Amino acid sequence: MLSLVKKSIFGFLLVLLGANLVVNVNAQEIKKIYFFYGTGCPHCTQVLEYFERENLLNKYPVEKREIYFDRGNALLFNEMLSSLGIDESSRGVPTVIIGKKVLVGDKPIIDNFVLEADKFLNSSEISENKQVVVEKKESAKPFDLTLTAIVIGALVDAINPCEFAVLIILMTTILASGNSKKALRAGLAFSISIFISYFLIGLGLYKALSIGGISEIFFKFVGWVAIVLGLANLKDYFWYGKGFLMEVPMIWRPRLKGLIQSVTSPMGAFFIGFLVSLFLLPCTSGPYIVILGMLAKKVFDTQAVLYLILYNFIFVSPMILISWAVYKGFDPAKAEEIRQKRLRTLHFIAGIVMLAMGMIIVRGWI
């Protein structure tokens, strides 16, 4: 009976996923504003700073396209300008294409962007790049779910069973000395090192993705990655232990456990955290990669850094809470018992959230 229920639920999820693939030909397409820029271009930097200062990327459906290092973006740039009748001698970056209106240069863009964007979004103008009639203001902008997605993604990452397992081993090892204060300091030091490590990894990946610009195709690919990871986590809920696991690979676990059990001090916990973070990446990187792809497409540097700080603070918060609980007398063995009982539930939550995030990206709702 239980097997039948599992198959029914899993079948329902697959039907839901299939429904996501159906293209609604009657749906009106959201208008897009294209911003073409080049890495290292000082005039582009002026426009980038203006967009960031005025938070225009979240207020308007702007799609960033870097053309110096991305051939696909460069081809699109020239195709769009040719279709609009712009002579090759008049082309350059920064350029903003708002429907049939083309703004070239930092000053024209900064002086006219808001006015032209509002006119475009409030009109029923036919888009030259899509050749479809679009709706008016009420459907002109996608929902800005960036902050919501970051918080939810970080929460999913924070309840990852791998993260709990590592910290429980660490706390058990330190507590063997009988010093709860030392265990607290070790737990906090370990949490800080994981925060620093993941923040730097995230910042590096964000910059790498931003340099070439995130194309719409790659952004859709990120969405499909989220869907695959979601289904893999759901597999671990229905058929845990069969096939691969969305956890630290079994072959790595003895070495990981040995590293953690070698820690005897808070300083040791701090430095070992950087090594442990590499072991955790296969288990915890799924939501992070999806969020980084989203940030590279939708926000600029300052805002991205703030979002990464928020994400990683949420990510390590359970580590801090468990460290405090152990200091107050909570038995790590009891924590491990709870973790083992809730493994499938944690995978189920992660699977549903990742599946939802993937569908939102693929359908263009974010």
Residues 153 and 280 in one domain: yes
pLDDT band at 18 (very low <50, low <70, confident <90, very high): low
CB neighbours of residue 303 within 10 Å: 17
Q: Residue 23: inside a domain, yes or no?
A: no
Which pLDDT belongs to residue 174? 67
Residues 163 and 125 in one domain: no
**Of 80, 111, 139, at which residue does a domain stop?**
139
Token digits for 342? 């809730």
Residues 355 and 319 in one domain: yes
DSSP 182-231: HHHHHHHHHHHHHHHHHHHHHHHHHHHHHHH---HHHHHHHHHHHHHHHH
Burial of 361 (0-12, 13-18, 19+ CB in 10 A): buried
Helix (H) or strand (E) holding 23: none
Q: Residue 2: inside a domain, yes or no?
A: no
The least confident of 207-221, 317-331, 352-366 is: 207-221
Structural domain span for residue 90: 33-139
- The model's pTM is 0.60
DSSP 55-78: THHHHS-EEEEE-SS-HHHHHHHH
CB neighbours of residue 17 within 10 Å: 16
Greater confidence (336 vs 289) lies with 289
Residues 42 and 96 in one domain: yes
Which pLDDT belongs to residue 96? 95
Token digits for 298? 């939708």
Residues 228 and 302 in one domain: yes
pLDDT band at 117 (very low <50, low <70, confident <90, very high): very high
**Of 85, 107, 139, at which residue does a domain stop?**
139
Share of the chain above pLDDT 70, in %: 75
Residues 117 and 213 in one domain: no
Greater confidence (279 vs 106) lies with 106
Share of the chain above pLDDT 90, in %: 14
Q: Residue 125: inside a domain, yes or no?
A: yes
pLDDT band at 126 (very low <50, low <70, confident <90, very high): very low
Which pLDDT belongs to residue 28? 39
Residues 80 and 131 in one domain: yes
pLDDT band at 207 (very low <50, low <70, confident <90, very high): confident
Task: Give strand ranges (E) for the chain.
Answer: 33-37, 62-66, 95-98, 101-104
Structural domains of the chain, count: 2
Q: Residue 352: inside a domain, yes or no?
A: yes
Residues 300 and 181 in one domain: yes
Residues 161 and 252 in one domain: yes
Residues 181 and 235 in one domain: yes
CATH of the domain at 121: 3.40.30.10
Give the span between the Cα atoms of 221 and 338, in whole angstroms.
Answer: 36
DSSP 90-119: G--SSEEEETTEEEESHHHHHHHHHHHHHH
Q: What is the mean pLDDT of the chain?
A: 76
Residues 267 and 208 in one domain: yes
The predicted model gives 239-244 an average pLDDT of: 74
Q: Residue 76: inside a domain, yes or no?
A: yes
Residues 232 and 85 in one domain: no
Burial of 255 (0-12, 13-18, 19+ CB in 10 A): exposed
Q: What is the DSSP letter of 251?
A: G
**Of 139, 174, 205, at which residue does a domain stop?**
139
